[in-house]
Structure 1
Amino acid sequence: MSDIPAPELAIATRNLSKQFDRLLAVDNVDLEVADGEVYGLIGPNGAGKTTLMRMLAAIEDPTTGDIYLQGERLDPDRPNPRLKRYLGYLPDDFPLYDDLTVWDYLDYFARLYDLREPGRSRRLLEILDLVQLIPKRDSLIATLSRGMKQRLSLGRTILHEPVLLLLDEPVSGLDPIARQQFREIIQVVREAGMTVLISSHILSDLAQLCSSIGIMELGCLVESTSIQELYQRLSQQRLQISLLGDNLAKSLDRAIAELRNCPQVESWTVGDRQLTVHFNGNETDSANLLRQLIQAQVNLYQFQIETDDLEDIFLQLGHQQTS
């Protein structure tokens, strides 16, 4: 990895570390996030994700190492307001002001960002439309649901049209409908050209949103790759074969005989009327196996292909790290 980041990178870090007394929270991280992508950061509690984000947001100074945003070095010793305007940062505990209305809250932050009329009011309406809160513009924040508050926080984060969005656990505690609404907003933001770095423990959401994934363990970035490459390399495939009929033993024997003769079958386990088969073939191979089982007069009522999802891969990598 070159010491000078490529110009098309929205984020690049080189040998980035953060030490708190005896705790090494971030350990020599080299992170690269391409311009315009949604990059998911995952890992257990205490892995260093929040500390890494706080350094990228210029809230925490690195102990060692360098940070580059849009190709420019972020120097903690020389404040660069222009560079920091690239950023929108949503921490997992950002406070809201319950006694303000939705409009007044956004207007307050718009003034802090030095947005001026008539553009300021126009921008507030754009944000309220994006986060689906126009009907709530005159409501007190105290009356909003948790999902509405999170959408309002996101709106505040992108008021100044940053090019880089840092989201730390933005859907924590939200119900499925609120998470879906939040995902839709992130998709719109991405289509508008923003780069998004998002951490979450809800891996199914990241699998739908992200083009790349980074996995942190004990302060180290142990994986950083496209989500497609991660699936191709680490996702395992299984066939769930369920048997039907009274003469179950005969069907089971016939099924196992066919599995032994199939080169794409790696192993299998036998459950109650079910075989779980570890399978490394493609769709044609699985179709051929199904045909062979039927021709062998195996009584089937289910033949289903399953693949590991992002959560399975994460648990698999965690097991490898601790074993």
Structure 2
Amino acid sequence: MIEQELAISTSNLTKQFDRHLAVNQVELQIEKGEVYGLIGPNGAGKTTLIRMLAAAEDPTIGEIYIYGDRLLRNDSNTRLKQRIGYLPDDFPVYEDLNVWDYLDYFARLYYLKSPHRRRRLQEVLELVQLTSKRTSKINTLSRGMKQRLSLARTILHDPILLLLDEPVSGLDPIARMQFREIIKVLQTVGMTIFISSHVLSDLAQLCTSVGIMELGFLVESTSLQDLYQRLSQQQIIIKTLGDLETLQQELKHNSYVEEWQFISEENSLKVNFSGNDQESAELLKALITAGIPISEFHCIQEDLETIFLKLGHKQAS
């Protein structure tokens, strides 16, 4: 019995191409309304996994359940498939059409009827900030605009599950920020979003949970908060108006200080610290009591990219 609150649930999901195991016995559970980020190196199996979730690829073995219903590539559960939005990383746009006609074409394929179809086109154009471009030819749009247009096409039919494969690949920082803001809006209306990306800073801002794939295996799948708590080491940036050698000598007396790195141009150290907030406050107090002129002291955590790289090294060793 599949739990009804799960948007996605897979059991022993495996895909083999000849002798290559692209996806290997993946057990995945994603709750409704989550933004789930999938990360991993090229060839890890991310795209193959997404294609199976979109019913674009048959599993070799295993089962997929979407909102409690089993997903099959045959003619069964057509209604369920109509509630899935899938944006692959290489979806073409028809350059000679204008923006409105392009969306209207797909709206008709989704059997949206007037006047609802016209209202829906206006809604998605406003959401992706392309209302002013409705009569523009697609070949005049920037890459970021084209990607937002592709997203508009993907959500025309108001899916309950959105599958995005590398949607910000090749976009500049402003275009990525615009795309992130759209995803946040879609989450607020209750859409479950599954997104793969190599831009880990974007996923860190968007996701509630993450999965990490290596060589076809799902080696991690957990909430972002849990991942940080378990694998992200706390660091403290300490800047002094005095000399760094004196600061280092004092740090050696603290058992929670593990190692540090120089930030020489700022007369600072980045300290790996295993203590909690209370213990970091005690460290600051000890430095001040020792007469060290501290001008900056703040705690940070290792980011998602650092965690991913550490996990990669751990898997390789």
TM-score (norm. length: structure 1): 0.93
Superposition deviation, residue 80 in structure 1: 2.7
Indicate how the Cα distance of structure 1 residues 157 and 271 shifts in structure 2: closer, same or farther if over 3 A, else same: closer
Superposition deviation, residue 86 in structure 1: 1.5
**How far apart in 1 are the matches of 2:141 and 2:268?**
48
Q: Does 1:242 align with 2:254?
A: no
**How far apart in 1 are the matches of 2:282 and 2:107?**
62
Indicate how the Cα distance of structure 1 residues 187 and 270 shifts in structure 2: closer, same or farther if over 3 A, else same: closer
Superposition deviation, residue 108 in structure 1: 0.2
Name the counterpart of 2:303: 309
Equivalent position SS for 1:7: coil
Q: Higher mean Cα deviation, 152-161 or 294-303?
A: 294-303
Superposition deviation, residue 19 in structure 1: 0.6
Superposition deviation, residue 83 in structure 1: 1.4
Q: Determine if contact 1:97/1:105 at 8 Å carries over to the other structure.
A: yes
Q: Does 1:260 align with 2:252?
A: yes
**How far apart in 1 are the matches of 2:261 and 2:167?**
40
Q: Could you list the per-position Cα deviations for residues 81-128 of structure 1 after superposition, in whole angstroms to 9, with x for gaps in the alignment?
A: 111012000000000000001000000000001001111101110111
**How far apart in 1 are the matches of 2:207 and 2:97?**
34
Indicate how the Cα distance of structure 1 residues 132 and 317 shifts in structure 2: closer, same or farther if over 3 A, else same: same
TM-score (norm. length: structure 2): 0.95
Matches within 5 A, 1:44-59: 44-59=41-56
Name the counterpart of 2:164: 167
CA-atom RMSD in angstroms: 1.6
Matches within 5 A, 1:1-323: 4-245=1-242, 248=243, 252-253=245-246, 255-268=247-260, 272=264, 273-323=267-317
**How far apart in 1 are the matches of 2:74 and 2:88?**
23
Long gaps (5+) in structure 2: none
Q: Determine if contact 1:61/1:76 at 8 Å carries over to the other structure.
A: yes
Equivalent position SS for 1:26: strand
Q: Percent identity?
A: 64
Q: Determine if contact 1:266/1:280 at 8 Å carries over to the other structure.
A: yes
Indicate how the Cα distance of structure 1 residues 260 and 154 shifts in structure 2: closer, same or farther if over 3 A, else same: same
Q: Higher mean Cα deviation, 99-108 or 292-301?
A: 292-301
Equivalent position SS for 2:25: strand
**How far apart in 1 are the matches of 2:64 and 2:134?**
38
Superposition deviation, residue 289 in structure 1: 1.3
Q: Could you list the per-position Cα deviations for residues 224-256 of structure 1 after superposition, in whole angstroms to 9, with x for gaps in the alignment?
A: 0000000000000122333434xx3xx624x34
Equivalent position SS for 2:292: coil
How many residue pairs get matched?
315
